[in-house]
Structure 1
Amino acid sequence: MPVELVPHQSLIALGRLAGSRGYLWGTGGNLSLRRSESHFLITMRGTALDQLDSQDFVLAPLQGERDEPPEASTEIQLHRRIYQARPDVRCVIHLSPFYTTLVACTDLELPTDIVPETALYLGEIARVPYIQPGTDELARAVAEALGKERSVVIMANHGVVTVGESPLDAFRRVEVLEFLCRMVVTARSAGLELHRIGPDAVASLRRSYGVKARG
């Protein structure tokens, strides 16, 4: 039986993984994990996610004020609003990988029925317009865009938020989204048309893998 990592170790491993994939730059991005019905663990502000240790996390109240606790990531309210709206979510990731952020600065369409993995892991991708980072306005907009079923939100000129029932679940969506964005940008640059597998194939895939329809 695999050993389950303690919460901060799970997020440390997630930060290292994001760094190894080239999804990080500077001190951008933030990670969190639901700890109970009343609290969640979140990275501190100004931390490099690929260099996290056990001192780089803050336990935050689910019903706290926008800037509580003050040492937490400036995007604390984004995580808080998602956990408040989605009891099923255990992990929230906000990153700005290159291709995803490039697409976030455009109106490029992102069809998810391109390859089986994008169909299975992404579902419908929500998008929100540019809103100042760290604000409750952005937090509310992202939580509303996720709704009850979606797992991925692209924030214009900012990056992406993904959610999941586990850290790996949420990270897998970041990884697959970055792959999709890279495919779309590369195909457009080369003048190629991407063929889609269509809704019937997507529905069949999800039935085969027992994946609940999202979006």
Structure 2
Amino acid sequence: MNINEFYLAQICDVMKLMYNRNLVQVRGGNASLIDRNSKLVYISPTGVPRHKISNNDVAVIDFDGKAIIGLPSSEWRMHLSIYKNVEDAKAVVHAHPRYLLALIKKGMKLDLNYLTETSLRIKCLQEIPLIAPGSEELANAVGEAAKMGCNAIILDNHGIVSYSNESIYHALEIIEAVEDLSLIQLQGS
């Protein structure tokens, strides 16, 4: 089996970026890339501190969720659900951004037109009620939202997941734009 070292490095880089930007806790969040030719998904591991993640830590699973290498994130079902429901999705990123969660707790709604970056990067923003993390039920709900064309999906009391048909960095950029918007809206309220 040929392992794509470039995918491993990108996942490590994105996880470190998310940790350094305060979008995840030390062992929180996850990211993945799909190789549709081999039908393999490269995904961040469970339990590894995000600021220390290395290429050797990244897990690889097949399209059925079977671990080929390593121990995948507990949210692997959510990632696979997006890839199965959005044929051109190339990358998925999931974070726990503090300002977004604070905004939701205050009962506020994001206004995508409030910030140029969000209006340009987000096709559709969907909110999903609280569903147990890592569950099949959450994966199905996220997959349905993604199938409707929503590339940013807020998970109540949990965080956000985004996908991109461009790159893993674009998926991260979507989350960063939502977090920036959340901070701006909170400060403006």
TM-score (ref. length: structure 1): 0.79
Report if the CA contact (8 A) 1:100-1:177 is conserved: yes
TM-aligned CA deviation for residue 26 of structure 1: 2.7
Percent sequence identity is 26
What runs of 5+ residues in structure 1 fail to find an aligned partner?
A: 189-215
SS in 2 for 1:31: strand
Q: Which residue is equivalent to 1:184? A: 185
Q: Which residue is equivalent to 1:202? A: none
Distance in 1, Cα, partners of 2:146 & 2:52: 29
Give the alignment of 1:115-134 within 5 angstroms.
115-134=115-134
Query: Cα RMSD between the aligned structures?
Result: 1.6
Residue-by-residue CA offset, 1:134-166 (whole Å, 9 max, x unaligned): 100000001111224221000000000011120
Give the letter for the 1:99 counterpart: Y
Give the alignment of 1:25-174 within 5 angstroms.
25-37=25-37, 38-64=39-65, 68-69=66-67, 71-164=71-164, 165-174=166-175
Distance in 2, Cα, partners of 1:125 & 1:104: 13
Q: Which 4+ runs in 1 deviate beyond 6 A?
A: none
Distance in 2, Cα, partners of 1:167 & 1:135: 23
Report if the CA contact (8 A) 2:81-2:140 is conserved: yes
Give the letter for the 1:175 counterpart: E
Report if the CA contact (8 A) 2:94-2:160 is conserved: yes
Q: Which residue is equivalent to 1:175? A: 176
Residue-by-residue CA offset, 1:44-90 (whole Å, 9 max, x unaligned): 111222221012111111123xxx33821111101011111111111
Give the letter for the 1:61 counterpart: D
TM-score (ref. length: structure 2): 0.89
Of residues 120-129 and 12-21 in structure 1, the stretch that sits farther from structure 2 once superposed is 12-21
TM-aligned CA deviation for residue 106 of structure 1: 4.6
* Cα pair distance change 1:106/1:79, threshold 3 Å: farther
Corresponding pairs, count: 181
Of residues 5-14 and 73-82 in structure 1, the stretch that sits farther from structure 2 once superposed is 5-14
* Cα pair distance change 1:100/1:170, threshold 3 Å: same
Q: Which residue is equivalent to 2:14? A: 14
Report if the CA contact (8 A) 1:145-1:153 is conserved: yes
Of residues 157-166 and 48-57 in structure 1, the stretch that sits farther from structure 2 once superposed is 48-57
TM-aligned CA deviation for residue 184 of structure 1: 1.3
Report if the CA contact (8 A) 1:27-1:46 is conserved: yes
TM-aligned CA deviation for residue 33 of structure 1: 0.5
Give the letter for the 1:22 counterpart: N
What runs of 5+ residues in structure 2 fail to find an aligned partner?
A: none
